[in-house]
Structure 1
Amino acid sequence: MKVTVDDEKCCAAGTCVMVAPEVFDQREEDGIVILLDPTPAAELHDAVRECVQVCPAGAIQVSEDA
């Protein structure tokens, strides 16, 4: 799995950080997403997929090929 984020789309909701804090964080100054791990371990894949589904801005993308 390869994760990418579009910080231009991010609305700083923070849902991704609550669901997968090992993979996502937020900038202190504005809450915009920070991708901590673009290739998360297999045990985090379900959580990352949930983040894609619940992101209100559609700022998280996943490629299952990697």
Structure 2
Amino acid sequence: ARTHRLVEVGAILEQTAGMTFDTEDSRRALSVALTERLRYTNGQPFTRGGQIAEAVGMLLEADGER
């Protein structure tokens, strides 16, 4: 079940990104892009992965799934 879910999530990511992550370098770059510690203009830290998780959580809450 976990493997199936990971494949589905990977397919969604590739589709929305408009690219494939078929090499170790591209997967490493994706990992860096999602985990890189950035800062908003007010100095608050964030990661792109955290932004995605927050957006998904908000959508699930709006749908009453959380």
TM-score, length-scaled by structure 1: 0.28
Bigger fraction of residues in helix: 2
Which of these two proteins has the greater Rg computed from alpha carbons? 2
Bigger fraction of residues in strand: 1
TM-score, length-scaled by structure 2: 0.28
